[in-house]
Structure 1
Amino acid sequence: MALFFDNITNKAPNSLISVRQSDATQTDMEFAHFMRLAESWLNDASETDKQIFRKCNGTEMEHIALKALKDVAPQTSFNAENIKLVSGLQFPDIQAAGHFGVEVKSTKSDSWTSTGSSIVESTRIPDVSRIYMLFAKLGGKTPEFRCRPYEQCLSNIAVTHAPRYLIDMNLADKGEKNIFEKMSVEYDTFRLLGEKEKINSVRKYYMRANQTKGKYEMPWWMGDTNTEVSSSIMIRFFTDLSLCEKSDITARMFILFPELFGPKQDKYKRAALWMCSRYSVICSNLRDTFSAGGKVDEIGGVVFKKKKPQVLKTLYQNRALITELLSDPDEALMQDVEDHWGENESLSLSMSKWLCLMQQTFNENEELKDVDLKKLFDCWNS
């Protein structure tokens, strides 16, 4: 890279003062101007020597971005001496005048999209209040550069080893919302949340979005971090669990998903996704787990005029734990009820509320509509 730097004019920094936070509107405008100049500098340099840029790795790109910022600084109110590279130690990669930052991302492909930084921002420099994304698209005919306000080019959230933003530098051009607009929260509000609050906010957003679309999808990669129940690092089969684990999961499943007793063919989908998301447990034959063994005409001393589905017997076998959980729900159950029943539904969680929801489902099932579940539970518990 030495030859490249030798061929670019190195302007000496002037003695202009650093930008202060006191006038937010003016300084934001000045920062935007600063970044536009840097973008032009980089695109002009790329036209001069395409191959040098094409060969850049991430670290080299950060140093070139730093040089661009220092070179254009004399045309702005920013002092080149107050622009520093902190990559590898803190977020964002470059800090300018204390309160401003630049996150440098590059891709070898001919695309304006990439995976970005962690949503947690645990290494964020506390003083930095405004960040720009400086994106280098090194593939294609000519390497190109774009600079945008950080939050305006974050399209979504995905996971590698942790939840990370997805970058799309064309969001504004396509008229599409960034992830914060989708979540109805300001970036500056979201970034100040604690790690648990961020994860839970994102999890709730995806839960609501998928429910609205009627999709059988759940964010398996981020269970509720506020509860003691967390997803295992290992994926296991339901059939390999201990009897205690099976009973606990089954009881919670019966509470959360009344549709397990309904007539629909896809009634096991939500429960199967929840089990995977919450416990890292999969079951290849969930229907058989609850219904295997045919129909029964007697359960717990109660004789039925017509035979009932085996799943009702499974309910009977888990009645004690269901009653216990509904009488004294833990945080995990409260959160799951809110996620799957609806916002704030955990506030009204009770045995009577659950029985009511279950009875509504029973009434939709030809095989169960003649069953009074409350009376049945009273008989079973007497």
Structure 2
Amino acid sequence: MALILNNSDARIQNNLISVRPSDATQTDIEFAHFMRLAESWLNDASEADRNIFRKCNGTEMEHIALKALKDVAPQTSFCVDNIKLVSGLHFPDIQAAGHFGVEVKSTKSNSWTSTGSSIVESTRIPDVSRIYMLFAKLGGETPEFRCRPYEQCLSNIAVTHAPRYLIDMNLADNGEKNIFEKMSVDYDTFRLLEEKEKINSVRKYYMHANRTKGKYEMPWWMGDANTEASSSIMIRFFTDLSLQEKEEIRARMFVLFPELFGPKQDKYKRAALWMCSRYSVICSNLRDTFSAGGKVEEIGGVKFNHKVPQVLNTLYQYRILIKHLLNNPDDALLQDVEDNWGENESIAFSTNKWFDLIQQTFNTNNELKDVDIRQLFDLWG
């Protein structure tokens, strides 16, 4: 793809710069200069008449951005004829000289932050390898404009109907990391991942970050659209589920959250968050679904030396389903295990590992520390 020079010097008017994504240092410099000129054009226009932009909607702002780029193009190596608006069909909104793009965002508020585009970038123009954000802050005393390399102003990820980037045009000035620096991945590496890989990478980052901070938080959009356990579009109450749905969720909780057998008061928090994010189901009394009914001395024909928590009786009731899940894990369960079994995200899934985790939790509970989980399952059959 050739970039036709549009320069006042007639001697180089017909020269060509070959634009290759793998060797684009000089053209990146040219593009940065191009965007600085466009930023100045827009800010000068706003200073001259602040009412020009005050009531602009998103579409109008894209057309104004296009005019700014075409007006300053003669001062650069970019040809006016190679700058086009593709908004509504592709990402980014404006394409220039094939490999360069401009994403136009605007806000009516007096803030340099906004919600950006989808992390999936499913409509991205394949040829575009370099993108700038052109941000219009239309609130405040005078509308202002800033242009930054796209990835350098993406601060975080949030969800509307799908995971989307959050824009913060101050990142370059306040020294905070962009989302790709936080995730320890290069933007050009991340953007080339398949959609499922992107979602998984982002989910793992937030899961790990929250565990490190000791927070009971997880992405509500963590469900995998390619599994039957995907999150429902409707939020439901656990009490309204069918018996089969309730049994399936309880059995998976026993596999995923060993702390259900522990002594801590907050032992149901992670399970409740998982149920909400994976199944869009909420429960106001999750504790009662596992341990209602007091303590017991005999379960499944096995007598204990002292009374044990009712949760052990619930485990007995679900032992067949649990064994089936352990021996036949589906993709959703394997993903949830990776997200929830301990601090080590690469922990290997196995029935023996589950027994180990349960036994470790038993050992922290004075009412269960003398119970051998493997022996108990053997006795129950």
Q: TM-score of the superposition, structure 2-length normalised?
A: 0.94
Provide, for residues 245-270 of structure 1, a one-character-per-residue CA deviation record: whole Å limited to 9, x for no partner.
11111111011111000000100000
Structure 2: which amino acid aligns with 1:246? K
What is the distance in 2 between the residues matched to 1:141 and 1:102?
Answer: 26
| Cα distance in structure 1, aligned partners of 2:240 and 2:225 | 25
Counterpart of 2:105, as a letter, is: K
Partner AA of 1:66 in structure 2: L
Residue 183 of structure 1 aligns with which residue?
Answer: 183
Task: Give the drift of 1:222.
Answer: 3.4
Answer whether contact 2:295 2:310 (CA < 8 A) is retained: yes
CA deviation vs aligned residue, 1:206-257 (integer Å, no higher than 9, x gap): 1111111111011012313443321111111112222221111111101111
Quick one: distance in 2 between partners of 1:81 and 1:228? 49
- Supply the distance in 2 between the matched residues of 1:229 and 1:357 (Cα, whole angstroms): 24
1:365-376 correspondence runs (5 A): 365-376=365-376
Paired residue total: 368
Measure, in 1, the Cα distance between the counterparts of 2:105 and 2:58. 7
- On the 8 A contact 2:7/2:77 being kept in 1, the answer is no
Separation in 2, partners of 1:19, 1:231: 50
Deviations 1:81-117 (A, max 9, x none): 1100111111111000010000011111110000111
Equivalence for 2:3: none
Match of 2:290 in 1: 290
CA distance in 2, matches of 1:117, 1:16: 37
User: 1:18–1:82: 8 Å Cα contact kept in structure 2?
Assistant: no
Q: Distance in 2 between matches of 1:373 and 1:199?
A: 36
Tell me the distance in 1 between the aligned counterparts of 2:220 and 2:75. 49
* Equivalent position of 1:260 in the other structure: 260
Map 1:167-316; keep pairs closer than 5 Å: 167-316=167-316
Cα offset, 1:198, TM superposition: 1.1
- Give SS of 2:363's match: helix
* Aligned residue runs from structure 1 range 342-381, under 5 A: 342-345=344-347, 347=348, 349-381=349-381
Partners of 2:234 and 2:14 lie apart in 1 by 56
Structure 2: give runs of 5+ residues left out of the alignment. Answer: 1-5
Counterpart check, 1:110 vs 2:110: yes
Residue 255 of structure 2 aligns to which amino acid in structure 1? I
Question: Taking structure 1 as reference, are residues 95 and 17 closer, same or farther at Cα in structure 2, changes over 3 Å only?
Answer: farther
How far off is 1:193 after superposition? 1.0
Task: Find runs of 4+ consecutive structure 1 residues off by over 4 angstroms.
Answer: 12-19
CA displacement, residues 324-367 of structure 1 (integer Å, 9 cap, x when unaligned): 1111211111111111113222x3x2222111111111111111
Alignment partner, residue 93 of structure 2:
93
- 8 Å contact 2:7–2:75 — kept in the other structure? no
Alignment root-mean-square deviation, CA: 1.5
The TM-score normalised by the length of structure 1 is: 0.93
* Aligned ranges 1:45-124 → 2 under 5 Å: 45-124=45-124
Q: Say whether the 8 Å CA contact 1:16–1:78 is kept in structure 2.
A: no
- The residue aligned with 2:19 is 21
Separation in 2, partners of 1:145, 1:315: 60
| Change in CA separation of 1:292 and 1:17 when aligned onto 2, cut-off 3 Å | farther
Q: Partner residue of 1:9?
A: none
Shift of 1:18: 6.6
Cα shift readout 1:114-173 (whole Å, capped 9, x = no counterpart): 011111111111110000000011111111110000000000011111111100000011
Matched residue SS, 1:364: coil
- How many percent of aligned residue pairs carry the same amino acid? 82
Q: Is the 8 A contact 1:50 1:142 kept in 2?
A: yes
- Judge which range, 196-205 or 263-272, deviates more: 196-205
SS in 1 for 2:103: strand
Secondary structure in 1 aligned to 2:18? coil
Contact 2:7 2:76 in 1 (8 A): no
Residue 183 of structure 1, CA deviation: 0.8
Aligned residue for 2:345, secondary structure, equals: coil
| Structure 1 stretches lacking a partner, 5+ long | 1-11
